A and B are shown apart, each in its own frame.
Chain A
Amino acid sequence: MAFTSVEFICFLAVTVLLYYLIPKRTQWPLLLLASYIFYFLAGGWYLPFIATTTVSSYFAAVIMLRSSEKEKNYIESNRDNMSKDERKTYKAVQKKKRFRILVAALILNFGILGVLKYTGFTLSNINSLIGFFGGQDKISVPSLILPLGISFYTFQTMGYLIDVYRNTTTAEKNIFRLALFVSFFPQLVQGPISRHSELASQLYEKHTASWSVIAPGALRVCWGYFKKLVIADTLMVAIKAIVESPAEHEGMYVVYLIIMYSAEIYADFTGGIDITIGVAQMLGIRVTENFNRPFCSKSTKEYWRRWHITMGSWFSDYVFYPVSICKPMQKLSKFSRAKLGAAVGKRIPVYLATILTWFLTGLWHGAGWNFIVWGLLNCLIILVSQELQPLYDRFNNKHKALADSRGWEVFCQVRTFLLMGIIRILDCYRDVPLTFKMFGTVFYSFSSWRDLFNGSLSDLGVSLSQYAVVIVAIIIVWAVSRKTEEGALFGEKLCSRPLLFSFCAAGLIAATLIFGSYGIGYDASQFIYSQF
């Protein structure tokens, strides 16, 4: 059941209606039931996987909780008889026990994700190696199912387990409550990756229906549909045409792809997140924002603080920092500082952790070399920018008026947009050599630029009138984001002005119905990030 289907809208209407009609203490069990129905309708075979993650995480968290409580009680009752060192040793032993439980749960759950998502990719690469060395016997590559949103719910749940281990959230003692945290249906398609400490308590609270709760949520859902159906799904047709026949679409078409795919993925992903946040809001639940005007970023580092925020912070909190400050890294840092000097030595752990983080970020997006290369290119840009920072600072100090000007700011924003757009086309072609080849045509296939003015762009499956609609829609989205933080338009302020609210809602619905790309010939069922 896709977000953009009539079935989902009916499902949502029934869920919201029942949610506010039934006794409040049964609201969260209803949400759990709705989430499992939603997931079952997405694919019945997906249920055992999400259930395994829930059950294993429940037991791991409860065991860690009991160990922490036991440790606390023991220390409290023996405080006077223990020296500081004895206390530290006791705590370290208990922590090690909890660490083993955590590692076992992480291996099991990341193992499930790894097997389902990466077996085909791994075996294909082994087969390529066998072929390269002249071998004939190739391993057959099985076709495994990939449960909807498995990357999102696995990361969210493993984040919860790490937080329980770190004592930064409370372990859930009721398995059904945990099941709701893992499977909360608005988040199942494409996240965001919420933190237990921020989301869980809201799921189990009692919520009362009111205009100020339901209306902003419903408007945000309409905004999401507008972005997805009017911009993303219209552009998708042209993008598909370019990618499916690269030989006929060189030079100018690649530049078109860089710009339009950026617009498509932005509208698709933020539109999907708007629907998620809006649906949750209608249920009285605030889900973490995942975007903050990413295309206003002046650097790659800033871009990654604004785009897919919850994934970035997940990798930062659970991969980058733990890896860069772990004991072997600290030893390596000390060793390299002694041998190579302070400047180089201090960089080694950070650079290794950055490379690992971006390799995993690429891999998280999909089982393919294009995703890995994309991740590592992001890493390269970030590390090079970091090294060039003193140079930028010198330039900025020397040309202060220029550096402070609006023009320079726009230049930096356009530069970041293009840089991110260029490496993003790895996701379109899904073939690393082809992507580089096609990007190369920008610099020598000049004849293609004639097509910009002879109407060839409309041969891509999008008519000139549709382009006009998309451009107007992009201007509206841009203007809204200029005026507000992402999503803030849909806050209570607009709801306190019923006439304006009704006008915006009716306008969005009408525009989506009239100009949206759906029905025969369109694939509105898929969100790009739901495949990750």
Chain B
Amino acid sequence: MDKLIEILKEIHPDVDFETENALVDDGILDSLDIVTLITEINDRFDVSIPAEEIIPENFNSAAALYDLITRLDED
């Protein structure tokens, strides 16, 4: 989780990712951020996020994103 927070902080240093749970719905993460995030996750977690998983529910909070990474890694 710390590694993921670190990636998110690199993109938006001013956001409290531990508590924020509407990252997409509130427009904090836009398409540019999401694509950057996916590239970084692919690099550092060795998990590739497919396009069909790009839905707000998976990106609205760090916790949801971490769950997605864990699920894809287990698959």
A interface residues with partner B (beta carbon < 8 Å): 88, 91, 163, 166-168, 317-318, 320-322, 324-325, 330, 333-334, 346-347, 349-350, 353, 386
Cα separation A347 to B30 with both chains bound (whole Å): 12
Interface segment, B1-9, B46-54, B61-69?
A: B46-54
B35, B36, B54, B75: residue with the most chain A Cβ atoms closer than 10 Å: B35
Contact across chains for A168 and B35 when beta carbons are under 8 A apart: no
Cα separation A320 to B75 with both chains bound (whole Å): 25
Contact flag A350-B50 (CB < 8 Å), given A330-B42, A334-B43 = no
Contact flag A325-B51 (CB < 8 Å), given A330-B39, A330-B42, A334-B39 = yes
Cα separation A318 to B49 with both chains bound (whole Å): 15
B30, B36, B38, B39: residue with the most chain A Cβ atoms closer than 10 Å: B39
- What are some 27 contacts across the A-B interface (CB < 8 A)? A91-B75, A163-B52, A166-B50, A167-B52, A168-B52, A317-B51, A317-B52, A318-B51, A320-B31, A321-B34, A321-B54, A324-B31, A325-B35, A325-B39, A325-B51, A325-B54, A330-B39, A333-B35, A333-B39, A346-B35, A346-B36, A346-B39, A349-B39, A350-B31, A350-B32, A350-B35, A386-B32
Cα separation A317 to B54 with both chains bound (whole Å): 8
Contact across chains for A325 and B43 when beta carbons are under 8 A apart: no
> Which B residues touch A322, using CB under 8 A?
51
> Which B residues touch A347, using CB under 8 A?
32
Contact across chains for A325 and B38 when beta carbons are under 8 A apart: yes
Contact across chains for B52 and A349 when beta carbons are under 8 A apart: no
B interface residues with partner A (beta carbon < 8 Å): 30-32, 34-36, 38-39, 42-43, 49-52, 54, 75
Cα separation A61 to B30 with both chains bound (whole Å): 33
Q: Tell me what chain B mostly uses at the interface: helix, strand, loop, or mixed.
A: helix
Cα separation A321 to B36 with both chains bound (whole Å): 12
CB distance from A328 to the nearest CB of B (A): 12
Cα separation A330 to B39 with both chains bound (whole Å): 6
> Which B residues touch A321, using CB under 8 A?
31, 34-35, 51, 54
CB distance from B29 to the nearest CB of A (A): 13
> Which B residues touch A166, using CB under 8 A?
50-52
CB distance from A196 to the nearest CB of B (A): 13
> Which A residues touch B35, using CB under 8 A?
321, 324-325, 333, 346, 349-350, 353
Cα separation A386 to B34 with both chains bound (whole Å): 15
> Which A residues touch B49, using CB under 8 A?
325
Cα separation A353 to B31 with both chains bound (whole Å): 11
The closest CB in chain A to the CB of B30 belongs to: A386
Contact across chains for B43 and A346 when beta carbons are under 8 A apart: no
> Which A residues touch B36, using CB under 8 A?
333, 346
> Which A residues touch B30, using CB under 8 A?
386
Cα separation A386 to B32 with both chains bound (whole Å): 10
Contact across chains for A346 and B32 when beta carbons are under 8 A apart: yes
> Which B residues touch A325, using CB under 8 A?
35, 38-39, 49, 51, 54
The closest CB in chain B to the CB of A353 belongs to: B35
> Which A residues touch B52, using CB under 8 A?
163, 166-168, 317
Cα separation A321 to B52 with both chains bound (whole Å): 9
Cα separation A334 to B43 with both chains bound (whole Å): 9
> Which B residues touch A91, using CB under 8 A?
75
The closest CB in chain B to the CB of A326 belongs to: B51
The 8 closest A-B pairs by CB, nearest first: A166-B52, A322-B51, A321-B51, A346-B36, A324-B35, A325-B38, A350-B32, A321-B54
> Which B residues touch A318, using CB under 8 A?
51
CB distance from B13 to the nearest CB of A (A): 13
CB distance from B45 to the nearest CB of A (A): 13
The closest CB in chain B to the CB of A165 belongs to: B52
> Which A residues touch B39, using CB under 8 A?
325, 330, 333-334, 346, 349
CB distance from A17 to the nearest CB of B (A): 41
The closest CB in chain B to the CB of A88 belongs to: B75
Cα separation A65 to B23 with both chains bound (whole Å): 35
Cα separation A88 to B30 with both chains bound (whole Å): 31
CB distance from B31 to the nearest CB of A (A): 6
> Which A residues touch B34, using CB under 8 A?
321
CB distance from A168 to the nearest CB of B (A): 5
- 13 additional contacts (CB under 8 A) given A321-B35, A346-B36, A349-B39: A163-B52, A166-B51, A167-B52, A317-B52, A318-B51, A325-B35, A325-B38, A325-B51, A330-B42, A333-B39, A334-B39, A353-B35, A386-B30
> Which A residues touch B50, using CB under 8 A?
166
CB distance from B58 to the nearest CB of A (A): 12
Cα separation A168 to B52 with both chains bound (whole Å): 8
The closest CB in chain B to the CB of A386 belongs to: B32
CB distance from B34 to the nearest CB of A (A): 8
> Which B residues touch A349, using CB under 8 A?
35, 39
CB distance from B68 to the nearest CB of A (A): 14
> Which A residues touch B32, using CB under 8 A?
346-347, 350, 386
The closest CB in chain A to the CB of B42 belongs to: A330
> Which A residues touch B54, using CB under 8 A?
317, 321, 325
Cα separation A26 to B18 with both chains bound (whole Å): 54
CB distance from B56 to the nearest CB of A (A): 12
A91, A324, A353: residue with the most chain B Cβ atoms closer than 10 Å: A324
CB distance from A436 to the nearest CB of B (A): 30
Cα separation A334 to B51 with both chains bound (whole Å): 19
